[in-house]
C-alpha cells in the first residue's frame, strides 16, 4: 500500500489541520513537537504529512507530489491552479478586502492612476477588472502590506483581514470586501481516482466534523 501524502500550510492552518486529523484517529502528535522536521508519517493509515509554505501547497498537489492539500482559499485564488476543492473546512475564516485610509473611501473610484499594494496581485487585478472594469497599478509585496499607504507607496491595499487589528493599529480601514476566505481541502485530480477509497474516507469524516451534509 502506498502512502497518501498530505501537504499542510505551515503555521496556524497546519495546527488546525493536525487537530482535525487527530479527531478522526490519526497519530500526528509528533507534528506538535517543536522541531525543524518537515515530514511525518502515520503508521496506522499509511499517510505522510509534509509541512510547506502556504503558497507552495497548490504546486505540490498539482504535480501529485502531495495527494491532498490543506490551504487557505486566498492562496488558491491567487494561484489559480486546477485542483479539486472538496471541503470548506470552516476554520481560518477571514475576508479578502480593499483597505486604505478613511479618506480613500470616496476617492477609490475617482483616482485615475490607482496604485494597489498586495501579496495577492492576481486577486487584486481581477477584482478591479471584473467588478469595476478598470486597470490598476499593482505593487507586489511579500508582507506588512499595511505599510504601503502609510509611506506613499500605494493608495490602497488588497489583503486579508481577520480581526481587523492590523488595520486599526495602522489607522486604516476596510473600504470594500472582496470575498470570504477559509481553509480548503483540495485533492489532486489523478489521486482522487487512484486512491478514491482512502481519500474519501477522510473526506467523509472531515465533512461530518464540519457539519457538511454528504
Ligand atoms: C496577515 C494579513 C494582515 C493580517 C490580518 O498578515 O496580511 O496583515 O494578517 O490579520 P488581522 O486582521 O487579525 O490583524 P500576516 O500576519 O500573515 O503577516 P505578513 O503581513 O508578514 O504577511
Model confidence pLDDT, tens digit, residues 103-116:
999 999 999 999 99
Residues 20-79: tens digit of each pLDDT: 999 999 999 999 988 899 999 999 999 999 999 999 999 999 999 999 999 999 999 999
- In a 13 Å sphere around the CA of 110, the CA atoms on its Cβ side amount to 5
Protein residue with least CA distance to atom 2, ligand 1: 160
The residue segments making up the domain with residue 42 are 4-92+182-213
The owner of cell 504529512 is 49
By three-state DSSP, how is residue 199 classified? helix
Q: Does residue 168 sit in the same domain as residue 133?
A: yes
**Phi/psi at 195 (5° precision):** -125, 40
Q: Does residue 105 sit in the same domain as residue 172?
A: yes
Q: Does residue 137 sit in the same domain as residue 171?
A: yes
Residues 150-198: tens digit of each pLDDT: 999 999 999 999 999 999 999 999 999 999 999 999 999 999 999 999 9
Element (H, E) at 183: strand 183-187
Q: Does residue 122 sit in the same domain as residue 133?
A: yes
pLDDT(213) > 90: no
Distance CA 148, CA 13 (A): 26
Residue 66 per-residue DSSP state? S
Residue 184 pLDDT: 98
pLDDT(81) > 90: yes
Q: Does residue 161 sit in the same domain as residue 83?
A: no
Q: Per the structure, how many domains does the chain have?
A: 2
Q: Does residue 132 sit in the same domain as residue 163?
A: yes
The owner of cell 486512491 is 195
Provide the β-strand partners of residue 180: 95
Cell of 94: 477571514
Protein residue with least CA distance to atom 17, ligand 1: 143
Report CA(166)–ligand 1 centroid distance (Å).
7
Q: Does residue 103 sit in the same domain as residue 56?
A: no
Residues with CB under 6 A from ligand 1: 143-146, 159-166
Q: Does residue 148 sit in the same domain as residue 199?
A: no
Among the listed residues 143, 142, 98, 155, the one whose alpha carbon sits nearest the alpha carbon of residue 124: 98
Residue 1 pLDDT: 87
Q: Does residue 56 sit in the same domain as residue 84?
A: yes
Residues for the chain: how many in total? 214
What average pLDDT does the segment 79-88 reach? 95
Amino acid at each position: 500500500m502506498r502512502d497518501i501524502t498530505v501537504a499542510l500550510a505551515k503555521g496556524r492552518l497546519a495546527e488546525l489541520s493536525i487537530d482535525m486529523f487527530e479527531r478522526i484517529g490519526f497519530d500526528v502528535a509528533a507534528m506538535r513537537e517543536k522541531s525543524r522536521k518537515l515530514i511525518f508519517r502515520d503508521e496506522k493509515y499509511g499517510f505522510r504529512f509534509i509541512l510547506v509554505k502556504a503558497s507552495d501547497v497548490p504546486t505540490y498537489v498539482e504535480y501529485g507530489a502531495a495527494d491532498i492539500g490543506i490551504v487557505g482559499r486566498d492562496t488558491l485564488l491567487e494561484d489559480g491552479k486546477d485542483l479539486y476543492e472538496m471541503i470548506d473546512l470552516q476554520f481560518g475564516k477571514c475576508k479578502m478586502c480593499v483597505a486604505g485610509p478613511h479618506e480613500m473611501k470616496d476617492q477609490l473610484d475617482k483616482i485615475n492612476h490607482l496604485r494597489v499594494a498586495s501579496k495577492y496581485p492576481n486577486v487584486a487585478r481581477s477584482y478591479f477588472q471584473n467588478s469595476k472594469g478598470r486597470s490598476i497599478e499593482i505593487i507586489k509585496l511579500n508582507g506588512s502590506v499595511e505599510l504601503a499607504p502609510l509611506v506613499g507607496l500605494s493608495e490602497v491595499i488588497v489583503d486579508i483581514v481577520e480581526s481587523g487589528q492590523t488595520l486599526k493599529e495602522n489607522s486604516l480601514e476596510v473600504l470594500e470586501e472582496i470575498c470570504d476566505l477559509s481553509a480548503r481541502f483540495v485533492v489532486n485530480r489523478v489521486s482522487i481516482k487512484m486512491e478514491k477509497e482512502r481519500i474519501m474516507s477522510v473526506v467523509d469524516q472531515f465533512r461530518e466534523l464540519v457539519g457538511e451534509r454528504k
